[in-house]
Structure 1
Amino acid sequence: MLISIRLAAHRRLAVAVAAAIVCSTTATVPALAQAAAPLSEVPVPQLDWTPCVPGSPFECATVKAPLDYRHPGGRTIELAVVKRKATGPGPRLGSLFFNPGGPGGPGKVQMPQDYEFFPKEVRERFDIVSWDPRGIGYSTAVNCFGSPEKAAAWAESKPIGFPVGKKERATWISAYAELGRLCEKRDPALLRHVSTADTAQDLDLLRRAVGDPQLTYLGISYGTILGATYANMFPGKVRALVLDGNIDPQAWTDHNSTGDPKLPLFLRMGTDVGAAATFDRFLTLCGSAGTAHCAFSAGSPEATRSKFDKLTLRLRKHPVGAWTYAATVDAVANALYVVHPGWTDLGGTLQDLWEGRTPEPPAAVPPPIPYPYAGIEQGGAVSCSDSPEPRNPLAYHRFEAFAAARAGDLGRFWTWAAEPCATWPAVAANRYTGPWNTPTAHPILLVNPTYDPSTPIRDAKAMGRELASSRLLTLNGYGHTALLNPSSCVQGYESRYIIDGTLPPVGANCTQDTPPFTASRPHGGLATGGGAMADSIK
């Protein structure tokens, strides 16, 4: 969404946001100083901050929240929270809450990884705060296997990427049906209380805990649907919300349908089409760049497209080790998220396969905070209970044919990314389905790349049409979200909006600092997202 809501949460769920809704160019944002009246009977939790690891500038805390806000005196869960204090100079203005997408992104790990991507002016004036949403990571988490070894054994039982052929389809469907049964046995109550609406209530509880009268927030990919949900559940508490890589709210909820949805989520969103368009730009730019900048270049865009088609035909019959046709398409889908170094690395991977070599995995960079268990079931528990999918697993072969006709190989990938939800056992007990146009205290800023492989620009425009007051800032560039594909222009507009409420002009456009297949700049974020439960949605 980043959207393949793959449960492992290694991609960011996002959908494009587009409409520049007419509103005043400047909106005064009040300082975060006055006290806010509690909105529920849930007591404000205390945040006892300590260094996450010795010597770290990042501080961690754990708070308790109700499993079910309708019954606040019942079972509680834990939420793992992380903070980096405002660095100054200049007076501190409050806290900026960050959701890294998914669903399934552990903010306790990913905020420290992504910290340098936040505009410098914002880091100076705001504490940057994130958390592992309920069901995820270090918070009270969905864990259907009991051990990493059992989770790994289950993962090895299914095809990589998506199923090819009748036998693999049966194996895929059976594996995810088994996953649902395992999850239902371990903690059925938790499965029904990890919805976006539940997490929006947690977010408001955390806002109260840091003492901010209104919310300042940046959400990417799945974080955009969380932000939109918060804005409509707590419209008076909106100070400044940046939604980057947006999801169409109507696609997420399938609110206009009766009975089973007509299409799976990612096809409703048009993620398959957006991913195919982005990959076509990859092949075009790679072909034009030549082998000095893109190893897979065949000297021209047309020749490079033909080369990829020949490679996939070959891999269908003759995999290179574990690199099957479907595994290669899976790698393509994931590599498109972050241009630097992702696109250059993808060119090298495809060229290795072309020459019959097994590609080497990219070097792992240890995160500032160790990763918790982040099984495939965590992000899927959110998306599958929250976003309706067709319930007949056998229908997905037909959906695959439809998506392949309009989006090629990536259409197949995005179709099966949603299929795990067909047999998921839980439906959210507290699910928000609209309205999405409740007037908010202040307008919302939408940001989206024009070629986003997970949340296409059409979804951003849909988000803009749904919200009561918003403004779209378009990044004329590539990759999933502007945060992970930096633009000084975007950061400048975001800083002014977050600090004092100044919106970009209507129709504002920016470009990326470093186009594809030019000198790379350092990157420190982990792209997440994906498909329902296939492997991840960020």
Structure 2
Amino acid sequence: MAAAVLVAALTAGCAGWNTVPGHPVAAPQPLPTVADYYAQRVEWRPCPENPEADCGDIRIPVDYADPGAQAITMPLVRLRATNPERRLGALTMNPGGPGESGYQQVLDALDPDDTGLRKFRVRYDLIGFDPRGVGRTAPVRCLDDPATDAYYATDFTPTSADQLTKVAAAHRDYAASCLRNTGRLLGFVGTEFVAKDMDLLRSALGEPKLNYLGFSYGSRLGLYYAEEFPDRVGRMLLDSVDDPSSAPDRWEFDETSTFPVSTRLAPRDQVVYDMLSTCAARSDCPLGPDPDAAMTALRALIDKVDATPIPVDDGRKLGSNLALLGLFETTYDTSYQKRFEQAIVAAQRGDGTPLAKLADRYVGRGENGRFSSSDPAFWAIQCANDDPARYRTKTEEQIMDALSRVAERYAVSGPLFGANRVFSTPLCLFWQVPPSRASTGVEAKGAPTIVLLNNTGDPATPLADAEHVADTLADAVLVVNEHDGHIAFDNGSECVDGIVLGFFFDGEVPARGTRCRN
């Protein structure tokens, strides 16, 4: 019976593959062969969102091994080069996530406040797309909005058997809903499929090479493309490098393993401590002059809302998980400093609204209570990248027992986030579709020099990961930016921005060992 349910779920959902809220689109007619997909050319028209942009689309096969079975539509957006006489070609990009919209990223470059992507438009057509499973391209569907709210209200710092059972049930129900509501496509949203889609896009644009700018997860996507199509890589720069040899948080279940206990704060806890220290250095700091005392008070706040959630102005309650998600969001960039302080003060006074709004930003919840596809897509794509041999090898009881032991160790170096992250992020252990590609390094032999860029204090994509990718690639140059936060380009460094623009405009590859300090 379980097998029958799985088959039914895998074949369901076809009509809803090309949908955004309120805008259903029927699944397109598939093409017989991969060569037929490559024969497509984009037909551009003014975008309904903004007539200054051009919109188009291509068909992509769900399964490249069986292209004639089913297809989905990939919408595209283009901003044409403002100096066509000096046009260098098309520049495709991805903002990361996984789950963020590359379509919207390019559309946002029309905003006069955008200081980054619009610089490329002088000599490039900017091309935006959403990877399969994301946004406008057959988004992954999981829980409905009220059920998603309930999922994030789960206490992911369990201290009893009953709470452990609730954690397991929350992950199990989430994973089951993704298969039920997304259907067969769920097994075909892995990064390796998107890389193939990108080559169809390149062909449909009439471009001999793919020029590509990838941020965070977008760097993994670029690496997969370079591995699959090294001779078709143009100028590729990857900012904040996501190491493809790393798997999602499945943790280690070898009963004989030992987990090192570090006395150093874990990276995200350290970022929070640094933000408390930045505040403490000011005479007007609302969190007090002692960062150690402030950290102790913050941990006490999390314990308090865990025991008794506090109100949010939209009727929800802020418990420990939402509070920690809000704090986690602030660790991505130093620009969150003021909101970080204000949210903590508000929560200490009994108002959970500011922290909840930060959490909403992290998980893609709009002010209307509707969730975007970003978080379901994040998990669907992450869970597709791991060793298939490890899929579903443990019982639920074994999983929860192992997580409990791991959480004890992680709580030592991560007293704020440690245990919560262990219990809130192992969704892939409950995933109902096996991984589609093992986590392995990428060499990309035959590709031109790939430029990598990483901040020294990036808590999301650590410098060590970028260094490992640089060592693994056959031909790469790593530029290190001595700065905190996630994403280096267009974040205040003239050195970084000059290198990026020099590479894309003039083909200038920075010298090995280049470091930026401004």
Judge same fold: TM > 0.5, yes or no: yes
- Give the structure 2 partner of residue 336 of structure 1: 331
Post-superposition Cα deviations, 1:49-91, rounded to whole Å, max 9, x if no partner, equal: 2233254423222210111112223211111212222223761
- Give the structure 2 partner of residue 151 of structure 1: 145
Q: Is the 8 A contact 1:232 1:435 kept in 2?
A: no
Q: Is the 8 A contact 2:80 2:124 kept in 1?
A: yes
Alpha carbons of 1:176 and 1:110: their partners in 2 closer, same or farther (altered >3 Å)?
farther
**Is 2:298 aligned against 1:308?**
yes
- Give the structure 2 partner of residue 277 of structure 1: 270
**Is 2:38 aligned against 1:43?**
yes
**Displacement, 1:380?**
1.4
Deviates more, 1:315-324 or 1:472-481: 315-324
1:399 to 406, 422, 427: 406
Alpha carbons of 1:279 and 1:114: their partners in 2 closer, same or farther (altered >3 Å)?
farther
SS at match of 2:57: strand
C-alpha distance in structure 2 between counterparts of 1:366 and 1:195, whole Å: 24
Deviates more, 1:67-76 or 1:300-309: 300-309
C-alpha distance in structure 2 between counterparts of 1:180 and 1:309, whole Å: 30
SS at match of 1:173: helix
**Displacement, 1:421?**
0.9
User: 1:44-443 maps to which residues of 2 (within 5 A)?
Assistant: 44-53=39-48, 55-88=50-83, 91-113=86-108, 116-118=114-116, 121-145=119-143, 150-157=144-151, 159-160=153-154, 162-166=156-160, 167-252=162-247, 273-291=266-284, 295-296=286-287, 298-321=288-311, 322-340=317-335, 342-360=336-354, 361=357, 373-374=372-373, 376-388=375-387, 391=392, 392=394, 393-394=399-400, 395-429=402-436, 431=437, 433-434=439-440, 436-443=442-449
SS at match of 1:252: coil
**Displacement, 1:238?**
1.6
SS at match of 1:286: helix
C-alpha distance in structure 2 between counterparts of 1:347 and 1:263, whole Å: 37
- Give the structure 2 partner of residue 525 of structure 1: none
**Displacement, 1:92?**
0.8
SS at match of 1:480: coil
Alpha carbons of 1:235 and 1:509: their partners in 2 closer, same or farther (altered >3 Å)?
same
Question: Per residue, is there more helix in 1 or in 2?
Answer: 2
C-alpha distance in structure 2 between counterparts of 1:169 and 1:83, whole Å: 48
- The one of the two structures with greater contact order (alpha-carbon pairs below 8 A, sep at least 6) is 1
| TM-score, scaled relative to structure 2 | 0.78
**Displacement, 1:414?**
3.0
Deviates more, 1:109-118 or 1:61-70: 109-118
- Give the structure 2 partner of residue 12 of structure 1: none
C-alpha distance in structure 2 between counterparts of 1:94 and 1:274, whole Å: 40
C-alpha distance in structure 2 between counterparts of 1:345 and 1:177, whole Å: 34
**Displacement, 1:373?**
4.5
- Give the structure 2 partner of residue 3 of structure 1: none
RMSD, aligned CA: 3.5
SS at match of 1:134: coil
Unpaired segments ≥5 residues, structure 2: 1-32, 312-316
Q: Aligned pair count?
A: 456
Deviates more, 1:127-136 or 1:50-59: 50-59
Q: Is the 8 A contact 1:450 1:477 kept in 2?
A: yes
1:482 to 464, 485, 488: 488
Q: Is the 8 A contact 1:151 1:375 kept in 2?
A: no
Alpha carbons of 1:456 and 1:97: their partners in 2 closer, same or farther (altered >3 Å)?
same
Q: Is the 8 A contact 2:281 2:289 kept in 1?
A: yes
SS at match of 1:184: helix
**Displacement, 1:205?**
0.8
**Displacement, 1:121?**
4.0
**Displacement, 1:424?**
0.6
Post-superposition Cα deviations, 1:206-254, rounded to whole Å, max 9, x if no partner, equal: 1111122111111111111111111111111122211112122221389
Alpha carbons of 1:353 and 1:180: their partners in 2 closer, same or farther (altered >3 Å)?
closer
Q: Is the 8 A contact 1:437 1:466 kept in 2?
A: yes
C-alpha distance in structure 2 between counterparts of 1:303 and 1:108, whole Å: 44
SS at match of 2:38: coil
Unpaired segments ≥5 residues, structure 1: 1-37, 513-538
Q: Is the 8 A contact 1:474 1:509 kept in 2?
A: yes
- Percent of residue pairs bearing the same amino acid type: 26
Alpha carbons of 1:505 and 1:224: their partners in 2 closer, same or farther (altered >3 Å)?
same
**Displacement, 1:114?**
5.8
Matching residue's letter, 1:387: D
SS at match of 1:440: coil
C-alpha distance in structure 1 between counterparts of 2:149 and 2:301, whole Å: 26
SS at match of 1:72: coil
C-alpha distance in structure 2 between counterparts of 1:312 and 1:373, whole Å: 27
**Displacement, 1:276?**
2.6
Deviates more, 1:42-51 or 1:314-323: 314-323
C-alpha distance in structure 2 between counterparts of 1:357 and 1:350, whole Å: 9
SS at match of 2:266: helix
Q: Is the 8 A contact 2:145 2:371 kept in 1?
A: no
**Displacement, 1:387?**
3.0
C-alpha distance in structure 2 between counterparts of 1:184 and 1:358, whole Å: 33
**Displacement, 1:455?**
1.3
